[in-house]
Amino acid sequence: MKELSLHILDIAMNSVKAGASLIEITLTEAGGVLTVTVRDDGAGMTPEFLATVTDPFTTTRTTRKVGLGIPLLKLAAEQTGGTFAIESAPGAGTTVTTAFHTGHMDNPPLGDIAGSVMSLIQGSPDIDVVYTHSAPAGEASLDTRVLREALGGIPLESPDVLLWIQQTIEEEERSFQP
Amino acid sequence: MKSIEDLKKIREETLKNINLRKEDNDHAVRVVVGMATCGIAAGARPVLAACLEEVRVRNLADVAVTQTGCIGVCRLEPIVEVFTPGQEKVTYVKMTPEKARRVIAEHVVNRQVVSEYTIGAAE
Ligand SMILES: Nc1ncnc2c1ncn2[C@@H]1O[C@H](COP(=O)(O)OP(=O)(O)OP(=O)(O)O)[C@@H](O)[C@H]1O
Ligand SMILES: [Mg+2]
């Protein structure tokens, strides 16, 4: 994947498949390290299954034998000298935490994170998504629970709402990114 | 600067227009974008964005853009399927945002399949 935001979208899709009702995507930048956390309240995994998940020959999917999403993210983080961790329990949801060394030459650009968050919401408008990106120079955030309240029954996947979501995150990201 | 107030405006506009829109689901067209890992890695996100933008700009109220998981032919991703009433499903492969815009204009709006992008032409 060329962008970190594509990994994030892909990992959040696992949360969708796990039946999550809330997905929290948190990016924190400090001291040359970008920590990315994707947390959900979906079905979770047993310890035995979790132990095999970073191995690319594990997947519960039927159309193709090899699950790629998690191994690809783990590889991307470790290539920057960073770390990967996954915590999960049946009924308790799953948290994937990765750290990237942003100064490393193999560090992927964040890319179109606004597009990823918008795509996630468009594909699963019944799930709540909380996006937070904090850096020393500023913060970008979005919480679909707040949007829902303002929209009073107008669906999140309405074209004008999706455009607003994309543009709002883009604007906030630009306010503190070089 | 964007604000929550914009959403309240969107809400009012939507409620105003809702009566003008006829809920005619027999004529609904479905555009389905494959968004599994293989699709995302191959460029499905900008393809989805292009489909959404065309539908918004052209005000195609009876067109639903949805996402699906793995369609099964990873090497042909990004894949877009178009379902129109009374027609067989058409599968478009190796899509780009530009190709997606053409599919919306020619197939979704004018009901002319863009044969050169279909899975049949690629195999
Ligand atoms: N958030 C999650 N909650 C519950 N189970 C998960 C979660 N994330 C991953 N899994 C389990 O781990 C497996 C491997 O995930 P991974 O993303 O690597 O591959 P995949 O989703 O199966 O396929 P691909 O990502 O290649 O389309 C999944 O099939 C699923 O069973
Ligand atoms: Mg996956």
The whole domain housing B109 covers 4-122
Instruction: Residue A15: give its domain's CATH number.
Output: 3.30.565.10
Residue type (1 letter), A100: F
Q: How confident is the model at residue A177 (pLDDT cuts 50, 70, 90)?
A: confident
Across the interface, which of B10, B14, B35 has its CB nearest the CB of A123?
B35
> What DSSP assignment string belongs to A76-108?
HHHTTT-EEEEEEETTTEEEEEEEEETTSTTPP
Cβ contact B45–A112 (<8 Å): yes
Question: What dihedral angle (degrees, nearest 10) is formed by the CA atoms of A154, A158, A163, A164?
Answer: 0
Strands (E), chain A: 22-30, 33-40, 83-89, 93-101, 128-135, 138-143
Residues of A with CB under 8 A from a CB of B: 1, 6, 9-10, 13, 17, 61, 63-64, 67-69, 72, 112, 115-116, 118-119, 122-123, 146-147, 150-152, 154, 158-164, 167-168, 171
Task: Report the number of distinct structural domains present in chain B.
Answer: 1
Residue type (1 letter), A84: F
Is-contact A115 B45, C-beta < 8 A?
yes
B29, two tokens: 């067209």
In chain B, what residues touch A122 (CB-CB under 8 Å)?
A: 48, 52, 65, 67
Please state at what angle helix A159-174 crosses helix A113-123, rounded to 10 degrees: 150
pLDDT of A64: 47
Is-contact B99 B66, C-beta < 8 A?
no
In chain A, what residues touch B2 (CB-CB under 8 Å)?
A: 164, 167-168, 171
Q: What does the longest C-alpha to C-alpha distance in chain A come to?
A: 46
The rounded distance, in Å, linking the Cα atoms of A33 and B69 is 32
The whole domain housing A85 covers 4-174
Task: Tokens 């506009």: give the residue.
Answer: B13
Q: Flag whether residue B18 sits within 8 Å of chain A, measured between CB atoms.
A: no
Task: Report the number of distinct structural domains present in chain A.
Answer: 1
The residue whose CA is least distant from atom 31 of ligand 1 is: A60
Beta bridge partners of A34: A29, A100
Instruction: Residue B35: give its domain's CATH number.
Output: 3.40.30.10
Please indicate whether residue A62, judged by its CB atom, sits closer than 6 Å to ligand 1: no
ipTM (interface pTM): 0.93
pLDDT of A77: 97
- What's the pLDDT tens digit per position in B13-61? 888 876 655 555 556 899 999 999 999 999 999 999 999 999 999 999 8
pTM higher than 0.90 for the full model?
yes
Q: How confident is the model at residue A54 (pLDDT cuts 50, 70, 90)?
A: confident
